[in-house]
Amino acid sequence: MRILNLISLLGLLVFIGIKEIQEYVSKNKKQEKKSNLDDFFNQHDKKIWIIFAIVFFISIVYKFGELPTYLGVDEAGGAYDAMNIARYGVDRYLNSFPVYLINFGGGQSVLYCYLTAICIKLFGANIISYRLPMLVVYFIAMISSYLFVSKCKDKKTALLFTFCILTCPWNVVNTRQALDCNLYAGMFMLDLFLMNIARKNYQYILAGISVGITLYTYSLSWISLPIFLLVWCIYMLYLKKLTWKHLVLFALPITLLAAPLIYFLLVNYNIVPETQIGIFTIPKLYEFRANEIAISNIWNYGLDSLKTIFLCQNTVYPLYLFLFLIGYFFSVIQAIKSIRKKEYHINAVMVIAFSTILLGSLLSHITTPNKANVLYFPILYFVSIAILKLFEKTKILFILTIFIICILFIHFEYQYYTNDAYHISSIVYEDNSFYEVTKKLEENEQTKNKQKHVITIKSCLYIYQLLVNEISPYEYQNSFTQEIYGPSIFITQVQNYHYYHYRIHRTKFLQEALQEKDAIFIISDVLTTLLEDKNFKNYSSIKYKDLMVLIPKNSGIDLETILNPS
């Protein structure tokens, strides 16, 4: 992949050189040859959308729910709460329709949970239902992006932008995971579309509702979105594209929808008590992570955060970093000109969007691309602007550039569908394997009622037991024990499953767990030194991916057949 990225970058530089030579040779001509790209895109937009639909199916819909092969612990946590909301109207802590989920103690945004609950009501509790909201919002975002650019600029740019969205690795990876934070990107593009086409009173109200709902996608939106809205409103008022009346109509639904979240913050700052308003609960978290937001993060971690955004695997092609810089530079120039002339320009809006959201995001340490997911749509817009700015008047070079992107995309898709490394990484270590082991043990009559002792490097694996067995939140609350370590909570038992963290409970596991002679043991394969204990000599072990599953030799149970049926 590195060689392919290098070749693509060199190819782009060659294309730019050829284009500059062509312009130099023809600089004395009285009139440059005009591009016919506008006519082509206007005439063939429907055919292009058919191609887009095929690409969408291949990259996103094909094997949806099967890839990635794992179900991450945060996905499982959100899915279990969504299942409870759908069936009982409460989360796992028995909070009625919370405005923010407690999840594992540090919290999780709630919009994804409610959308998943709807899918569970319609299609049942399964991985497709858990991940379907992300697919739907991504599709809405793609359509919104096209309509936004098409109405505010032209079809040519809109179609190229949509092409970049469809062929971006980040969007393929992002759309196939049930992570609450990733909704922010899609909802933000819907917000941009509604905000910038609004002319009538009801349209501003609708845009305000959309923005207010976006606040429930990800906690970082509480910082970055207000910064963007402030600058956007100043820009639109300056251009007289927004009246004070429309501003009030736009701000009112945002304020009303933001009010519960503001109260939630006050609760977790210990200013007001935890409360319930009607059927909605405003909970207090076990671990409030407000200290993760700080201005000092900009200079302490800013460079690391930028590396994560642009250089992390499966985000954007390295080629795009070069194109982004060009597109952003030209867009800033266009924005300055439009402001001086007091003329609205979409490039100015996108510069405002990217710059303000980036600033808000950098107040946090961006350790994974998910924390900066909202930035990728604007990045792809500037990539589109760069391609058109460089090659709009050179049809052959434009086509060759699109061809290079297609090659990069095809190579990524091939790797994504054939290489397990794209689906199992250290981030999700043990998640998928424990989910599968639990499911197989619980489906077998010989093993379902046996005591299970689990010691791994993960601390939240109990969520898979809850999800697999579809344990009700009321049953869970009456059957678990926990230990508190500082701000963190560790679940030590749920029904017949006992959980041990290797850093905390290693001694306890060896001293207490092994006293049970008829239990099943599930051990991380990086903790195999535990198997040297003499008490394990009467156990047979089966390796299942990154786990070791042990059962007494005299149990009469064929564990191999249960876990690895032929």
Do residues 129 and 256 both lie within one domain? yes
Q: Which residues of the chain are modeled with pLDDT < 50?
A: 30-32, 425-428
**Predicted local confidence at residue 1, as pLDDT:** 59
**Predicted local confidence at residue 16, as pLDDT:** 67
Among 366, 400, 420, identify where a domain stops: 420
pLDDT digits (tens, 9 = 90+) for 527-555: 878 877 777 888 888 988 888 999 998 88
In whole angstroms, give the CA distance from residue 558 to residue 305: 50
Tell whether 28 is covered by a domain: no
In whole angstroms, give the CA distance from residue 380 to residue 405: 12
Burial of 38 (0-12, 13-18, 19+ CB in 10 A): middle
Do residues 364 and 477 both lie within one domain? no
Do residues 397 and 465 both lie within one domain? no
Tell whether 556 is covered by a domain: yes
Do residues 369 and 437 both lie within one domain? no
Do residues 313 and 174 both lie within one domain? yes
**Predicted local confidence at residue 242, as pLDDT:** 95
pTM confidence score: 0.92
- Domains in the chain, number: 2
Residue range of the domain that includes 483 = 429-563
Contacts 24+ apart (CB under 8 A), 293-300: 293/223, 293/363, 293/364, 294/363, 295/363, 297/362, 297/363, 297/364, 297/365, 298/359, 298/362, 298/363, 300/365
**Predicted local confidence at residue 32, as pLDDT:** 45
Do residues 408 and 517 both lie within one domain? no
Do residues 93 and 195 both lie within one domain? yes
Tell whether 31 is covered by a domain: no
Tell whether 298 is covered by a domain: yes
Among 371, 389, 420, identify where a domain stops: 420
The reply to whether omega before 378 is within 30° of 0 (cis) is: no
In whole angstroms, give the CA distance from residue 256 to residue 88: 26
- Per-residue buried b or exposed e for 317-334, using 16+ beta carbons within 10 Å of the residue's own CB: bbbbebbbebbbebbeeb
In whole angstroms, give the CA distance from residue 10 to residue 17: 11
In whole angstroms, give the CA distance from residue 356 to residue 471: 43
Tell whether 336 is covered by a domain: yes
Do residues 493 and 513 both lie within one domain? yes
Do residues 212 and 361 both lie within one domain? yes
In whole angstroms, give the CA distance from residue 287 to residue 339: 45
Do residues 548 and 463 both lie within one domain? yes
Do residues 446 and 376 both lie within one domain? no
Tell whether 30 is covered by a domain: no
CA 423 to chain centroid, in Å, comes to: 15
What letter would DSSP give residue 61? I
**Predicted local confidence at residue 301, as pLDDT:** 93
Do residues 402 and 436 both lie within one domain? no
Tell whether 458 is covered by a domain: yes
Tell whether 26 is covered by a domain: no
Among 420, 437, 459, identify where a domain stops: 420
